[in-house]
Amino acid sequence: MKKIVYSFLTFMFLLSACDNDSDINKVASDTTKKVKSGKEAIDKKTIKEFVDRIPSPMIISSIIKDSGIDYDQGLLNSVDNESKYVIEFKQALNLGVFSTDLGYANIYEKSQDAINLLVGVKDMADNLKIGQYFEFEKIKQLSKSKDKLDELLQLTEENLININNKLYEQDRSDLTVLIIAGGWIEVMYLATQVVQKKPNKDLEQMIADQKIVLEQIVQLLDYYASQSKMRDLHDELVDLQKSFEKIKFTKSEGETKQEEKEGTIAVQQGGSEQAEMSKETLNEITTKIAAIRNKVIS
Amino acid sequence: MKNLCIILIFMEIIIGKSLAQQKTTTPPQNTKPQQKIQTQKDTKTQTDPKKQTNKKEINPRIENCNPNAYIRDIVEALKNSGYKFLRSYKLEGPSNDPIQQEYTFSKGTNYLIRAESYVGSNLKMTLYDPTGRVIASSYDPDTQKFYSSIEITCTKTGVYKILFEHYFNKRNFCGGAVISFKR
């Protein structure tokens, strides 16, 4: 009994003593937080929710392929450029760029290019000290098998989610935002370049619809506007938004129907939404995206 | 302060050990349940989810839950369906706390949201459009049937919400969900 009482007292004392230490840490942490802007101090959960909404660049890469447009290696960022990326800002952005390029090469089943790009992804992740969460060898093996595209896409996506989760845990969500921004800029670059070479209505519509995603990325970057490089990127994307404002969207309402089809609930959404984008606006978006992307990869 | 802390922790461990020894020499009445809980915890700490090969766990308890196995099953089922993997979600946590996910769907794209869970989980998925209107549910109240997937032909680009909840089931969530797409 004595031992239990003694143990309890020791435990309580220990708790209070360690609490004092944590208070010291808390004060230090609060001091660090004060350096950040109010917006930046927004909780991690909110940022994660924002990030989770952003669609994978894979859909646009898939449309490019389904449109019958040939694979163009010349559009991709070269892994030789990676030595230029010495600061975290550039490393995170180009981790996003290489990831999108990797997805594009995978969709077209260009395994050698995919493996080269995988090195770029791995190196960027290593530089950011998150490389251990990227299953490089496993992805490399899957890239070599043409019948394992689904597994490859799943593993790549899960690895990126893992990386993002680790960055949240480490209080480095700004890097997650940059990875996403880099990936989106790259896929927009691919889409606009392709559509200029071979006009395609589906792809043009998809580019126009990216207005929503652009808004989400701008909002995310806005949280980190106290960091000068983040603010610069934010401002460039805000300028791009001005071009997207010229696109006219016509919406119509309709009845949504739901039915059972082979054990699945099939929904035919009612109504529609049509984007009208002039050639001038498309050219303007193409030019601005190319300029932003070139700055990112240089 | 740190040194004092370390010394006290050390003392705590020694006292804890002696108490544990005392416990094992005098078996209390409820030894069995305690041992059972301990075994479950040990199993969890020794198991690496990535290395697990068993396909499905029907035990809904968090200790044994393996959402990755459900996700792998769904991905396997997607093969040759024409759908490509987009995003996966682990469905874990207390039953009274519905799981909400949001994703930006694009016009002109078909999405398949598929969820797998343990037998009798009564897992219900509800899909909301960007205006917050319910556009699909995986539960049919007329037939009282639960469906494992919702397929939507999207006509409006925007942020869609997917809500996963247990219908008359108070056990914890344990499952996986995958969003896939085709054009």
Chain A residues close to B12, C-beta within 8 Å: 7, 10-11, 14
B7 touches A at CB < 8 Å? no
Which amino acid makes up residue A234?
Answer: H
- A6 within domain boundaries: no
A258 Cα to chain B: minimum distance (Å): 7
Q: What is the structure's pLDDT at A6?
A: 47
Tokens of A189: 């670059």
Contact (CB<8Å) B155/A271: yes
Q: Is the pLDDT of residue B56 over 80?
A: no
List the single residue in B79, B88, B154 with the smallest CB-CB distance to A269. Answer: B154
Q: What is the structure's pLDDT at B23?
A: 36
B51 touches A at CB < 8 Å? no
Contact (CB<8Å) B103/A52: yes
The mean pLDDT value for A266-290 works out to 95
In chain B, the residue whose alpha carbon lies closest to the alpha carbon of A201 is B108
Neighbours of A6 (CB within 10 A): 12
The mean pLDDT value for A272-298 works out to 96
Q: What is the structure's pLDDT at B24?
A: 33
A5 touches B at CB < 8 Å? no
List the single residue in A58, A265, A269 with the smallest CB-CB distance to B138. Answer: A265
Range of the structural domain that residue A201 is part of: 40-258+271-297
B138 touches A at CB < 8 Å? yes
The mean pLDDT value for A85-110 works out to 94
Q: What is the structure's pLDDT at B103?
A: 96
Report CA A280 to chain centroid distance, whole Å: 28
With beta carbons less than 8 A apart as the criterion, state whether A265 and B147 touch.
yes
B8 touches A at CB < 8 Å? yes
Pairs of CB atoms within 8 A across A/B: 142
Residue-range domain boundaries for chain B: 2-46, 56-182
Best-predicted range by mean pLDDT (A20-34, A229-243, A267-281, B26-40): A229-243
B181 Cα to chain A: minimum distance (Å): 8
B1 touches A at CB < 8 Å? yes
Q: Is the pLDDT of residue A25 over 70?
A: no
Contact (CB<8Å) A52/B105: no
More confident residue, A153 or A22: A153
B81 touches A at CB < 8 Å? no
Q: What is the structure's pLDDT at A240?
A: 98
Contact (CB<8Å) A6/B5: no
Q: Residue B63 — pLDDT band, cuts 50, 70, 90? A: low
Tokens of B4: 């004092």
Q: What is the structure's pLDDT at B30?
A: 34
Q: Is the pLDDT of residue B59 over 60?
A: no
Number of domains in chain A: 1
Q: Is the pLDDT of residue A213 over 70?
A: yes
- A200 within domain boundaries: yes
A149 touches B at CB < 8 Å? yes
A264 touches B at CB < 8 Å? yes
A4 touches B at CB < 8 Å? yes
Best-predicted range by mean pLDDT (A62-71, A179-188, B48-57): A179-188
CA distance B84 to B86: 6
Contact (CB<8Å) A54/B183: no
With beta carbons less than 8 A apart as the criterion, state whether B136 and B154 touch.
no
The owner of tokens 């207005």 is A211
Angle, CA of A38, A41 and A44, to the nearest 5°? 150
More confident residue, A194 or A154: A194
Chain B contact probe: residue of A156, A256, A267 with most B CBs at under 10 A: A267
Contact (CB<8Å) A7/B16: yes
Q: A168-198 pLDDT, tens per residue?
A: 888 898 999 999 999 999 999 999 999 999 9
Contact (CB<8Å) B103/A205: no
CA distance A232 to A70: 34
Fold classification of B56-182 is: Jelly Rolls (2.60.120)
- Output the CA–CA distances (angstroms, integers) from residue B147 to B19, B84, B135, in the order listed: 52, 20, 15
List the single residue in A11, A63, A157 with the smallest CB-CB distance to B183. Answer: A63
CA distance B115 to B88: 10
